[in-house]
Amino acid sequence: MSGTSSPLPGLELVTESPADAASTPPVLFVHGAYVGAWCWAEHFLPALADRGYAAHAVSLRGHGGSDGSLASAGIDDFVADVRTAVERLDRPPVLVGHSMGGVVVQRYLQRYDAPAAALLAAIPPQGMAGLTVEFALRDPTTWIQFGLLQTVGPGPTSPRVMRRALFSADLPDARVEAYARRVQQESPRALAELTGPAVTGRVPSDLPTLVLGADADAIVPSWAVEATARAFDTDATFVPDVAHAMMLDTGWERVASTLAEWLDGIDPAS
């Protein structure tokens, strides 16, 4: 198994390759707001490669190691980035989107085919206006901190507040602090688009789809996960004792195992 960062023109694609993935579809991970492909590289890419899947994570434009400006980037631009990454792979991948990346995947599926998709703590089709209001009323201090992150960058971002929003209480302080140093500003246009209906029109409800929530999620609560599941005509699955940043939080192994078991059940002929 080897980890590489592929030199796509201007677009970072991080890959973990198993010894033999001939019988399994590749998997492409799409990150959420304020992060990049690095959030998948620590745990999920090697975990999926150990299960026999070629695992890839793309950094959307302006994120991680990818080129491009965030000033004018919208959700459809991120969809185009995912399309670019898909076209660089040998076979069509199963798409896995987290949070904002879940919206990117939902819009992608309205335009392009995929063998299957998994939506992890995804913002629901109706957008995040209701989520934002609920979050701001429940934890105004954390909400203000995210506003500071967006306006002046990660410098003043408090690891303690980041923990309240994204991680469980038992995640070691050193890891929370390390992740807090890596977060970045997000596209104002993309965030604005997410405040209204994020996905309009029908999504492919006949597509094999896993809708996965974290039951300790402070940002995307259970009702929002269930709304996404209804759009795809499926049931939501929840992983207990995991917070929003489910690929980095304590308990990430259970999330990765749930995803891998679902992948194992996909009919290769689909």
Quote the pLDDT of residue 13. Answer: 96
Task: Confirm whether 171 is domain-assigned.
Answer: no
Quote the pLDDT of residue 156. Answer: 59
> What whole-number distance in Å separates Cα of residue 175 and Cα of residue 184?
16
> What whole-number distance in Å separates Cα of residue 215 and Cα of residue 245?
12
Chain centroid offset of residue 133 CA: 21
Tell me the CA distances in angstroms from 47 to 1, 255, 267, one per residue in order: 11, 11, 21
Name the residue type at position 155: G
Which residue range forms the structural domain that includes residue 56?
A: 2-125+198-264
Task: Confirm whether 131 is domain-assigned.
Answer: no
Task: Confirm whether 146 is domain-assigned.
Answer: no
Six-digit token string for 176: 């929370």
Q: Is the pTM of this model over 0.85?
A: yes
- Give alpha helix (H) positions in 51-187: 75-88, 100-111, 129-138, 140-152, 159-166, 173-182
- Backbone φ, ψ for residue 116 (5° rounding): -175, 170
Quote the pLDDT of residue 2. Answer: 47
> What whole-number distance in Å separates Cα of residue 207 and Cα of residue 202?
12
The lowest-confidence range among 13-17, 130-134, 164-168 is: 130-134
Instruction: Give the pLDDT confidence of 53-76 residue by residue, as tens digits.
Output: 999 999 999 999 999 988 889 999
Percent of the chain with pLDDT over 90: 70
Task: Confirm whether 99 is domain-assigned.
Answer: yes
Instruction: Give the pLDDT confidence of 197-210 residue by residue, as tens digits.
Output: 999 999 998 999 99
Quote the pLDDT of residue 5. Answer: 46
CATH number of the domain to which 120 belongs: 3.40.50.1820
The total number of structural domains in the chain stands at: 1
Whether 114 and 93 have beta carbons less than 8 Å apart is answered as: yes
The winner for highest mean pLDDT among 115-119, 179-183, 265-269 is 115-119
Task: Confirm whether 270 is domain-assigned.
Answer: no
Task: Confirm whether 115 is domain-assigned.
Answer: yes
Task: Confirm whether 189 is domain-assigned.
Answer: no
Task: Confirm whether 143 is domain-assigned.
Answer: no
State the residue for tokens 């409800």.
Answer: 205
The lowest-confidence range among 40-49, 81-90, 91-100, 140-149 is: 140-149
Residue 163 has pLDDT above 60, yes or no: yes
Sheet hosting strand 11-17, strand order edge to edge: 2-8, 11-17, 55-58, 27-30, 94-98, 117-120, 209-214, 236-239
